[in-house]
Amino acid sequence: MTISLYDRASEAQRYIQAKARPRSPRVAVVLGSGLGGVADAVEDALEIPYIEIPHFVRSTVEGHAGKLIIGSCGGVDVVLMKGRFHFYEGYSMEEVTLPTRVFSLMGIRSLILTNASGGTAPQLSPGALMALTDHINLMGENPLRGENDERFGPRFQDMTSVYTPPYIQAAHEVARELGLVLFEGVYVGLRGPSYETPAEIRMIRKLGGDAVGMSTVPEATVARHCGMNVLAISCITNVAAGLAAAEIDHSEVMAVGSQAGKQLADLIVNVIPRIVSAE
């Protein structure tokens, strides 16, 4: 017998909440390639390997640890995904976005997404941080396609403000207090796993894309469907194809992500209490 998406998400939700007691996470954070250092800021951390959580799949990408971490960050109970699932790994959109639906069923209303991305805008050099104000979905798939369960959200979802303006404002305030430069821009999501060609990057720049990557869009779309507020931060780990002489290497992407992880961790730890107060 086929188990419905809602029932799968509910089973995972019950398992995680039973493990998390007495904590009741209010914010969920998803960490991208090489950005696992953010998890070091979590206090009294409980780690749950994905393989133990019902219906979670395995993260197969280098730089993604495959653990759910529950603890306190900035005085707020949080749950972190140390590593995410990607469409290019061969997983379905339902599998990629299941954790987002689980977080929603846990009563979490705030989602912070991070990713490692290539900069297409001239001001975005490796190590820069960019708050997403919008995205362009070039992944060739929408995670809301198929039968809709109204218990998650409506059939036709408005996408005007996927990334919550007050959250973006809070991130800018925190960045200024920390002496960090936080850019804004449009993220373009592609399937991967190959990096983009120079011709594709020229197209993306003409479309208005400032950074390009292989994640975030599905999670943000489903979060919006579930009525969650979203803050997304890109860590620019490389200049996009054709904009620099060097070829793109995943190990270098992770290295830059690790170097910028301290700044990103400081930003996230300090922004979590702000966005909770803005709920």
What are the tens digits of pLDDT across the range 166-188?
A: 999 999 999 999 999 999 999 99
Q: Which residues contact 234 (CB under 8 A, 6 or more apart)?
A: 114, 115, 116, 117, 129, 130, 131, 132, 185, 187, 211, 213, 216
CATH number of residue 32's parent domain: 3.40.50.1580
- Tell me if residue 250 is catalytic: yes
> For the chain, how big is the Rg over CA atoms in Å?
17
Query: Which whole-number Å values give the CA distances from 261 to 9, 35, 55, 255, in the listed order?
Result: 30, 6, 29, 10
pLDDT tens over the chain, length 279 residues: 688 999 999 999 999 999 998 889 999 999 886 677 778 888 888 999 999 999 999 876 655 468 999 999 888 999 999 988 999 999 999 999 999 999 999 999 999 999 989 999 989 988 899 999 999 999 999 999 999 999 999 999 999 999 999 999 999 999 999 999 999 999 999 998 998 898 999 999 999 999 999 999 999 999 999 999 999 999 998 876 555 555 556 566 666 666 677 888 889 999 999 998 766
Q: Which residues contact 122 (CB under 8 A, 6 or more apart)?
A: none
- Exactly one of 10, 33, 234, 258 is catalytic; name it: 33
- Tell me if residue 187 is catalytic: no
- Structural domain including 184 reads 5-277
Q: How many domains in the chain?
A: 1
- CA-nearest of 260, 232, 70 to 164 is 232
- CA-nearest of 188, 191, 192, 189 to 209 is 188
Q: Is the peptide bond before 193 cis (omega within 30 degrees of 0)?
A: yes
pTM to 2 decimals? 0.92
- Tell me if residue 258 is catalytic: no
